[in-house]
Structure 1
Amino acid sequence: MIRKLLSSVREYKRNTILAPVYVTFESILEIAIPTLMALLIDNGINQKDMSYVLWIGLALTVFALLSLLTGILAGRSAAIAASGFAKNLRHDMFYNVQKFSFSNIDKFSTASIITRLTTDITNVQNAFQMLIRLGVRAPMVIVFSLIFSFRINAYLSLTFLAVIPILGLGLWLIMSHVHPIFVRVFNTYDKLNNVVQENLHGIRVVKSYIRQDFEEKKFEGISLSIFQDFTKAEKRLAFNMPLMQFCLYASMIMLSWFGAKAIVASGNNTALGLTTGELTSLITYAMQILMSLMMLSMIFVMIIISHTSAERIVKILDEKSDLKSGNYPVCIVKDGAISFENVSFSYPGNTDKLVLNRINLSIATGETVGIIGGTGSSKTSLVQLIPRLYDVINGKVTVGGVDVRNYDLESLRNQVAMVLQKNVLFSGTIKENLRWGNENATDEELIHACRLAQADGFIREFPEQYDTYIEQGGANVSGGQRQRLCIARALLKKPQILILDDSTSAVDTKTDSLIRQAFRQDIPNITKIIIAQRVSSIKDADKIIVLDNGRVNAVGTHEELLERSAIYREVYESQSWGGVRHE
């Protein structure tokens, strides 16, 4: 896990190395200061040698200034390294998410991915910064302070070593109890973000159904769960500081007690002999050890929190797309012919339930094919196999006579344009949204595509026309306008295959008819697959496929299906004479 995370340091290795180097110099200078103080007291003040006092005082000033300078440089390097590390880590995660197939994305909720890209990375960034600075400084100060202490008086310095086993056992017990709680906390964070995201996305529905109270209670329940878990974790972590202070102040008391005796005994030249300056140095080293252990305590808490975050980040980084181009991928899609050969499919995690069962279909280049069926008949699942958003579990799907698994994924998807019922527009101008289909499209090409999609008319009514700003998700345009803009965007790709997944459901029948008429006249060579609930949207298709419970019920023209498909005839009659005519 650590190696995986550190691979994101990259160009910030220099600062990552410089920070501990500066910290090392800072620590050495700080360790030398108490020794100089002892010399100042014993050989200068006690001996009344002002020249010696001035020289040692000057040395102390230089050491303090150098320590300050190296501390500033260490802080600067650590900040740059940690910020750069977080930037690269965020980039690597987002870049890997972009390569996920739908089945990979299904393993992680959107809210969970957002939490990992924000809160979790911030936790790891803070831990990284503390480790390369305080994590180096604290142990170094402790080790050097112990060495200098033992040089002064080994017997008294044993008091420091006595507390180490107690501290080690206490910290291990705290960590073993706290880590599982933080694992649960961050999973609950995912749920909280999901509730917020759902609420904001569906705020119009919430308000129209007056469900604010319900949403507030749902949010409050999850928020309370996080509060309770965090409180439980913090209560355990709270034992960390008292444990530290008890052990270290106990050491200080023992050091002061035995040190005072040692100074008295120094007149008798015993093994405990100690000068005033040496006792002052020992107390200063004890304070440095105390402060360093306090730093380690903070690092320890941060590591506990960030360890859970690091595990969640690595899960994203380690996730590999289960859809990959072959070793020698085909990069050219010669035409829009499609074939389903004995295809069966089920979604990952639910392999026992076949969504599509033994599908056999053949669609020629340039054909217009309609697909109709009841809710849950797997219409969308069928067309998602064409651009290889999922892989079949049995059989094969071919485009242009080549198995889709043998294509270069990017080349295949460039030739298959899908327009979904729930389309997404991004914040930006209409032009910027349209150029998702072709970033190099000219203004004339944009206008032509919008005319085909019957979008040019309403765009011209906006004050800024094609430079009109679209809010996030297309909130400032109607559902029908959003669908027509997405159809225009798909047409700009100039694909071999155009798939409309119930993407005219929000437009009126007249506009729907005009779109189909434009398709017949202007893009006759593109294979068009139209999923629809309205028979009027597909009755003029070259062939119509009737799906029922994941199987092909019937295939034929409108007239043929009226004669031999009970399902199709029932749908047609209900729409024609059920109180509302669609023609």
Structure 2
Amino acid sequence: MLIRILRTHLRPYQRPITLLVLLQLVQTIATLYLPTLNADIIDNGVVKGDTGYILRLGGIMIAVTVLQVVCAVGAVFFGARTAMAVGRDIRASIFDRVQSFSAREVGQFGAPSLITRTTNDVQQVQMLVLMTFTLMVSAPIMCVGGIIMALGQDVPLSSLLLAVVPVLGVLIGLIVRRMRPLFRTMQVRVDTVNRVLREQITGIRVIRAFVKDDYEKKRFAGANDELTDVSLQTGRLMALMFPVVMTVVNVSSVAVMWFGAHRIASGGMQIGALTAFLSYLMQILMSVMMATFMFMMVPRAEVCAERIEEVLATESSVVPPVAPITKLLRHGHLELRGADFSYPGAEAAVLRGVDLVARPGETTAVIGSTGSGKSTLLGLVPRLYDATGGDVLVDGASVRDLAPALLAETVGLVPQKPYLFSGTVASNLRYGKPDATDEELWHALEVAQARGFVEELEGGLDAPIAQGGTNVSGGQRQRLAIARVLVRRPEIYLFDDSFSALDYATDAALRSALGRETAEATVVIVAQRVSTIRDADRIIVLDEGQVVGTGTHSELMSENPTYREIVLSQLTEQEAA
């Protein structure tokens, strides 16, 4: 998965990567050349007392060092720039894919996990790319080049490398093998911490209201401790890796000094050659150490890449049409024909064989007990979900065949939980119509019975709105959400229990104003409150995902026991009549 993701996202950056590799190659060759120059200075300059020779080779060493530094800086620059660009591209790919998801896919992953995958997981892959460009590219060149140069200094002494390098590789491999499952567990527990923290921040009022501070502290501490435990296990393995590497390095150095001394005593080797050989040994083992550092990052990056690929490989159940319809002949006619909907793996369908017709100039209401599928029914129209059976038609065309932009212009949904974005009142109201004038905004606020409290806010239309609309009340959020849809003036209005937080007087005033504003539009209202829907032109009664009654309030009161039971649970016989 990691290689697949990197291959895909590194392809646009072939030119800087090629330049980076060339710079690393030059830098490594310069690094490998310095010990040979140093050995030459010792054997032919220091031992013979030739000061001129020392100065000449010393100047060459300075020039080589400058070249090495320039190439190293250039390689780091291009490596960092490319790694950051790759991280940006992967985040953009995840964001684009998540934006295409229906509510089903978003629920499948969960918001905390999607956030972690877009931020923390991408960061791990990005860091791996950065370390690869700055360390790993030069490591194999340094290792192979160091072995060649060491052989050039003394072949018999180089036989030590045949034992040292494989031992180091096996030890590192055993440690990395144990780290991989720990990294997967770590990322899952990061998800858990994010989920718990998100719930606690969002639900802070409920926590305070029920005095559950201590309980939530313990819940967060439990999730935090689980993450800490697996992090400590991983940290112990990381801490073990460097002592193992350094032990092998130091033992190798001692062995080289021991056998090298005997080689010098027998006349088979010079002192400068031993010094150079030690330098090459250090360079070889340092390249292995750099590879070790990379191997520490690879398991976690591989796990993160798998989690990223899960998102990128998930296809949305709501697929855009290949040849979309971009224009409708009629205006606002909505029909559901035998619509079914069920979640993957669910034992029972949420909706079964739902038939519904809503016409322009009429108000159609949907009522039913909790869990009867009312919100799911409305979600089929703007394609938050796609019906698993039957069809949903707007102006005689299936919503599956409509261009997404046309469907968004035609259908306006006020969800059960209205959400406001951080910004101002005006920026939220213009969310569906960016070019709306202030007069249009004030008109929509007046219809939604929100003008009064907006005028009292400091700044009016420019008053700040916090993320999620947490700085306004639930009723104010609902009215602003209704006004946001009114600004766009769609042909079909869908209100999903959008009046539940309003008092009866505001509810009545809002419905009266809406009736005038949407006189020529199609209105579908889902409500729990009977008083909200009793005057509708048509009332649909849902029970366990099926339509069990259709008619006006008076017709259903006399003919439908399910509707009558719902009404009498809220009103007396006299009020219902």
Tell me if the contact between 1:336 and 1:366 (Cα under 8 Å) persists in the aligned partners.
no
Question: Could you list the runs of 5+ residues in structure 2 that have no partner in the other structure?
Answer: none
1:348 pairs with 2:344: yes
Once residues 229 and 129 of structure 1 are traced to their aligned partners in structure 2, the CA distance between those partners, rounded to angstroms, is 25
Distance 1:574 1:244 in 2: 75
Report if aligned partners of 2:76, 2:133 keep a CA contact under 8 Å in 1: no
Q: Partners in 1 of 2:68 and 2:345 — Cα distance?
A: 58
* Letter paired with 2:339: V
Is the CA contact 1:373–1:533 (under 8 Å) kept in the aligned structure 2?
yes
For residue 363 of structure 1, what is the aligned residue in structure 2? 358
Q: CA deviation at 1:12?
A: 4.5
**Is 1:192 aligned to 2:223, yes or no?**
no
2:434 to 431, 436, 439: 439
Name the structure 2 match of 1:269. none
8 Å contact kept, 2:358–2:523: no
Q: Residue in 2 aligned with 1:270?
A: none
* Aligned residue in 2 for 1:89: 90
C-alpha distance in structure 2 between counterparts of 1:461 and 1:153, whole Å = 88
Q: Are the counterparts in 2 of residues 335 and 365 from structure 1 also a CA contact under 8 Å?
A: yes
Q: Distance in 2 between matches of 1:533 and 1:107?
A: 28
Cα separation, 2, equivalents of 1:10 and 1:198: 40
CA contact (8 A) 1:185 1:226 kept: yes
The alpha-carbon deviation at position 330 of structure 1 amounts to 1.3
Q: Partners of 1:458 and 1:293 in 2: how far apart?
A: 68
1:45-56 to structure 2, matched below 5 A, reads: 45-56=46-57
Corresponding pairs, count: 575
Structure 2 CA distance for partners of 1:294 and 1:582, relative to 1, 3 Å: farther
Contact 2:75-2:133 within 8 A present in 1 as well:
no
Q: 1:65-106 CA deviation, whole Å, 9 max, x = no partner?
A: 111121112222222111121122111211211111112212
1:335 aligns with 2:336: no
**Paired amino acid for 1:366:** G
- Greater alpha carbon shift after TM alignment, 526-535 vs 4-13: 4-13
Contact map agreement 2:32 2:142 (CA 8 A) in 1: yes
1:312 maps to: 307
Alignment-derived partner of residue 203 in structure 1? 204
Q: Does the Cα contact within 8 Å between 1:342 and 1:359 map onto a contact in 2?
A: yes
* Aligned partners of 1:20 and 1:133 also within 8 Å: no
The match for 2:403 is 408
Partner of 2:547: 552
- Structure 2 distance, partners of 1:411, 1:349, is 32
Q: Is the 8 A contact 1:536 1:582 kept in 2?
A: no
- Helix, strand or coil at the partner of 1:238: helix
TM-fit CA distance, 1:364: 2.0
Q: CA deviation at 1:115?
A: 0.8
2:288 is matched with 293
The partner residue of 1:488 within 480, 483, 486 is 483
Deviations 1:259-282 (A, max 9, x none): 10111111xxxxxx1011101100
Say whether the 8 Å CA contact 1:423–1:486 is kept in structure 2. Answer: yes
Return the alpha-carbon distance in structure 2 between the equivalents of residues 510 and 517 of structure 1.
11
Structure 2 residue matching 1:576: 3-state secondary structure = coil
Q: TM-score, normalised by structure 2?
A: 0.96
Equivalent residue number for residue 519 of structure 1 = 514
Instruction: Give the structure 2 partner of residue 79 of structure 1.
Output: 80
Moved more, 248-257 or 209-218: 248-257
CA contact (8 A) 1:415 1:493 kept: no
Q: What TM-score do the two structures reach when normalised by structure 1?
A: 0.95
Aligned partners of 1:201, 1:288: CA distance in 2, in Å?
Answer: 54
User: 1:519 Cα shift?
Assistant: 2.2
- Mark the runs of 5 or more structure 1 residues left unpaired by the alignment: 267-272
Conserved? CA contact 2:358–2:524, under 8 Å: no
Describe the superposition over 1:376-428 as per-residue Cα deviations: whole angstroms up to 9, x where unpaired.
11110111111121122221121111122222233213311110121111111
* Larger CA deviation: 124-133 vs 332-341: 332-341
Contact 2:351/2:546 (CA < 8 Å) preserved in 1?
yes
Kindly indicate whether the alpha-carbon contact (under 8 Å) linking 1:437 and 1:493 is maintained by their aligned counterparts in 2.
yes
Distance 1:42 1:582, change over 3 A: farther
Q: CA deviation at 1:140?
A: 1.1
Partner Cα distance (1:440, 1:8) in 2: 36
Residue 119 of structure 1 aligns with an amino acid whose one-letter code is N
